[in-house]
Amino acid sequence: MITRRRLLGSAAATGVVTSVGGLAAPALAQGTTVRIGYVSPQTGPLAGFAEADAFTIDAFNRVAAEQGLDVEVIVKDSQSNPNRAADVAQELIIDDEVNLILVASTPETTNPVSTVAENEGIPVISTVAPWQPYFIGQQGNPGDPESWRPFDYSYHYFWGLEDVIAVFTNMWNQLDTNKVVGGLFPNDADGNAWGDPNVGLAPGLAAAGYTLHDPGRYQNLTDDFTAQINAFRQANADIITGVVIPPDFTTFRNQSIQQGLSPKAITVAKAILFPQSVETLGEAGHNLSSEVWWTPNHPFTSSLTGQSGQDLASAFTEATGRPWTQPIGFVHSLFEMAADVIKRTDDPTDPDAVVEAIRASDVNSIVGRIAWDGDNLPPFAAQNVCKTPLVGGQWRMQDGGGFDLVVVDNQTAPDVPTQGTMEPLA
Amino acid sequence: MIGADTIIQGVLLGGLYALFAAGLSLVFGIMRLVNLAHGDLIVLAAYLLLVVTTALGLGPFVALLVAAPAMFVIGWTLQRVVLNRVLGPDILPPLLVTFGLSVVLQNALLEGFTNDSRRLRAGPLETASVDLGVAMVGVMPLMTFASAVAVILALQWLFYRTELGRAFRATSDDPVTASLMGVKPASIFATATGIAMLVVTIAALFLGTRANFDPTIGPARLIYAFQAVIIGGLGSLWGTLAGGVIIGVAQTVGAAINPEWQILAGHIAFLAVLLIRPRGLFPRAVD
């Protein structure tokens, strides 16, 4: 499809319209406020991801004012609903005329917003969604890799399933197990992606010498896991993995203890992301393991405020009275990206200039280095995806109650310090 | 694969569904009111139990003694102030009002308690189990089933052995004639909803200790409760228990074949019962 911008772009490249190069001159935009749209799930089931929004935007506005950046952040709530996310992205572009969109938290939020922005030709930076569901999920035909096309305006940073596989198997390798893994994959977007026999966890685990037993997709909010427990017992699984929502994980964990299933490791995504969910498990939460995207101990500092991870986490706890969670670092990093990109763009009101600045990014952010240089990525995703470090951690119960997330494996990102080694479940 | 274990776990799961359904069955049996907010009222009761346990430092079972009367008052007031006004020959207004109530409850709880996953803590009891020889069975699921039977027994006694029960049955059969005999339907209805809320609080106790809850999970549990009521036959309390057990066993057996069939098997069992006995297994009233 030939759009006005693509025509201008290619014309400029071939020198046809060099004489009218003044069209996109930065002088036109001097003194205009740069408008940043931000979409996140502030209400609904995904609301936990967005709890640092107000805190982060306050900090961003404060720093922007100090540095003389003329910016305005317009916040929209996706209500944890993909359709609503697409609607508010339209509103941001058409009614608010934003120059840059930031979006975070799960493919249900990032994908509809990125798709709308890509179609409208507005630059968008997204994070907190594994890159496969982000990139492949937005393709016209996800089943046919030949047809996959890179995006022009949509840029993403996070990790991918290959990193999860590496982190999980590295953690399990620290234990003495029979390398038999039981999988809990629900019938939802994540469960189907992770549980896919061809592109999910199974082939990666097999390559690392682990056998995955997948009894099949179950429905979210299931009240009984007897079938899975029996299947894992029959397969003699020492390890249990999956991507489970918190209520179901509690049901599973209780029932498995009641019915005498005692694996050496339970490594699940989603269910034990937030400390509040782990606390609901009590003693049964001790030594559960998971992938870790960010902790206050990650050796990075904010390019925006100069805070270390520790500083940011304690500032958040002080401001809100709530414990730190992993999304806090990533929401902060999104606004680091916004500030950095705007500073490096002559005319932030020109989408193509903004895209150029995004592609040239090399930011040492609070979640690690962000640069779209295609490092460690397949060629088709190299243009639009950047990977941030992923390590493995275990929740340890404290003496006075409460849980600590301890990094136990850093082979995938050696600059993130470990605070212990993998311990088997009691 | 499908051994005694699967069946036993299914029966115990049925106890949980029967507890969810008992309050619904009671209200529907007496005043033909389909309460779409039933699931959200269970979640409300779970939060009430949570508040009582954290504020007063009580265990969840003792907290029940505080929360249950409070829920009775909430139920009584709800019926008296709101639901009695919409009861009539038209079944649509009560449906709409309870649907609205469901939305209001979810959002009020979200506003008050945030979206955090919460849980009622029952200490070592949570993971305790007994070995029945053929299967390891959790103590909590056993208590859930025992409570379901106890609740049904108590309601049965109330219905058939007390003056209040006679008034319930009379109002259910013919409110006009009942009021000629000095029974006030409005007040009978309010008491019935209050008692249903007592049952709801017991259901909330077992839901909240079994799994996490958050403000939005209510409606997901409502469908099994409805199915249990319908399978059992409208107005029959023992039927509700039987209905819960049928759905529970169908789900665990379905899951044992393949977890993808778990929920589907419950729905198929429901349809099968309706095909054979369109009015449920033990219908009490003729309507």
All structural domains of chain B with their residue ranges: 4-276
Residue B136 pLDDT level (bands cut at 50, 70, 90)? confident
pTM over 0.90: no
Q: What is the pLDDT of residues A87-140, one digit of tens each?
A: 999 999 999 999 999 999 988 899 999 999 999 999 999 999 999 889 988 988
The answer to whether residues A53 and A42 touch, using CB atoms and an 8 Å cutoff, is: yes
Q: B172, B175, B201, B190: which is closest to B81 by C-alpha?
A: B190
User: What is the pLDDT at residue A247?
Assistant: 87
Quick one: A220 and A264 in the same domain? yes
Whether A172 and A284 map to the same domain: the answer is yes
Amino acid at A288: L
Number of domains chain A contains: 2
What are the tokens at A20? 């009218």
Mean pLDDT on A417-426: 92
What integer best gives the mean pLDDT of chain B? 91
Distance of CA A378 to the CA centre of its chain: 18
CA distances from B92 to B28, B36, B86, B88, B98 (A): 14, 12, 9, 9, 10
Among A18-32, A382-396, B109-123, the range scoring the smallest mean pLDDT is A18-32
The arithmetic mean of pLDDT across residues A269-274, rounded, is 90
Determine contact, residues B119/A250, Cβ cutoff 8 Å: yes
Q: In this structure, what are the phi and psi dihedrals at residue A425, rounded to the nearest 5 degrees?
A: -65, 145
Q: Domain check: are A196 and A276 in the same one? A: yes
Distance CA B138, CA A224 (A): 12
B10 vs B91: which has the higher pLDDT: B10
* Binding-face residues of B in 119-138 toward A, CB within 8 A: 119, 121, 126-129, 135-138
Lowest-confidence region among A85-89, A308-312, A398-402: A398-402
The Cα–Cα gap between B168 and B158 comes to 9
Same domain for A175 and A287 = yes
User: Residue A61 phi/psi, 5° resolution?
Assistant: -60, -40
Residue A21 has a pLDDT of 39
ipTM of the shown complex:
0.89
Residues of chain A neighbouring B221 (CB-CB closer than 8 A)? 221
Res B164 pLDDT > 90: yes
Both tokens of B98, joined, read 């309870």
Six-digit token string for B258: 């393949």
Q: Is the pLDDT of residue A14 over 60?
A: no
Q: Which domain holds residue A110?
A: 31-159+296-387
How far are the Cα atoms of B76, B81, B161, B168, B179 from residue B184, in angstroms, in the given order? 14, 15, 19, 10, 6
**Which of B2, B35, B8, B32 is CA-nearest to residue B199?**
B35
Domain co-membership, A402 together with A375: no
Tell me the residues of chain B between 77 and 96 that have a Cβ less than 8 Å away from chain A. Answer: none
Residue A225 lies in a domain: yes
Token output for A58: 């306050």
Read off the tokens for A236.
């003699």
Quick one: average pLDDT of A44-51? Answer: 83
Q: Summarize pLDDT for A164-211 with one digit per residue, the tens.
A: 999 999 999 999 999 999 999 998 878 888 888 888 899 999 999 999
B34 vs B101, more confident: B101
In a domain, A421, yes or no: no
Taking the C-alpha atoms of residue A251 and residue B211, their distance in angstroms, rounded to an integer, is 5
Instruction: Kindly state whether residue A212 falls inside one of the protein's structural domains.
Output: yes
pLDDT of residue A11: 46
Centre a 10 Å sphere on the Cβ of residue B163 and count the other Cβ atoms it contains. 7
- Taking residues B243-251, report their average pLDDT: 95
Q: Contacts of residue B6 in chain A, CB cutoff 8 Å?
A: 226-227, 230
Contact yes or no for A11/A17 (Cβ under 8 A): yes
Angle at A259 between CA A257 and CA A263, to 5 degrees: 50
For an interface test with B, give the residue of A230, A233, A253 to mutate (most B CBs within 10 A): A230
- Are A398 and A359 within one domain? no
A276 in the same domain as A319: no
Residue A10 placed within a domain: no
Q: Mean pLDDT across the stretch B4-21?
A: 93
The Cα-based distances of B198 to B73, B95, B118, B154 in angstroms read 10, 22, 21, 12
* B16: closest chain A residue by CA: A223
Residue B196 CA from chain centroid, whole number: 8
Residue A419 in domain:
no
Compute the radius of gyration of chain A from its Cα atoms.
22
Vertex A144 angle, CA A138 and A145, to 5°: 80
Q: Which of A294, A338, A337 is nearest to A312 (CA)?
A: A294
Clarify whether residues A166 and A134 are in a common domain. Answer: no
Residue A25 pLDDT more than 50?
no
Residue type, A62: R
- What is the per-residue DSSP string for A251-268? HHHHHHHHTT---SEEEE
What per-residue confidence (pLDDT) applies to A4?
Answer: 52
What pLDDT, on a 0 to 100 scale, did the predictor assign at position B125?
A: 87
CATH label of the domain that carries residue A63: 3.40.50.2300
- Measure the CA–CA gap between B263 and A330, rounded to whole angstroms: 37
CATH of domain B4-276: 1.10.3470
Tell me, yes or no, whether A117 and A42 share the same domain.
yes
Q: B-chain residues within 8 Å CB-CB of A284?
A: 126-127
The average pLDDT across A362-379 equals: 94
| pLDDT recorded at residue B152 | 95
- Tell whether A189 and A311 lie within a shared domain: no
CA R_g for chain B: 19
Shared domain check, A183 and A101: no
Any B CB within 8 A of A277 CB: yes
For residues A51 and A96, state if they share a domain.
Answer: yes
Distance CA A181, CA A202 (A): 10
Tally C-beta pairs within 8 A across A and B.
124
Work out the number of other CB atoms within 10 angstroms of the CB of residue B47: 21
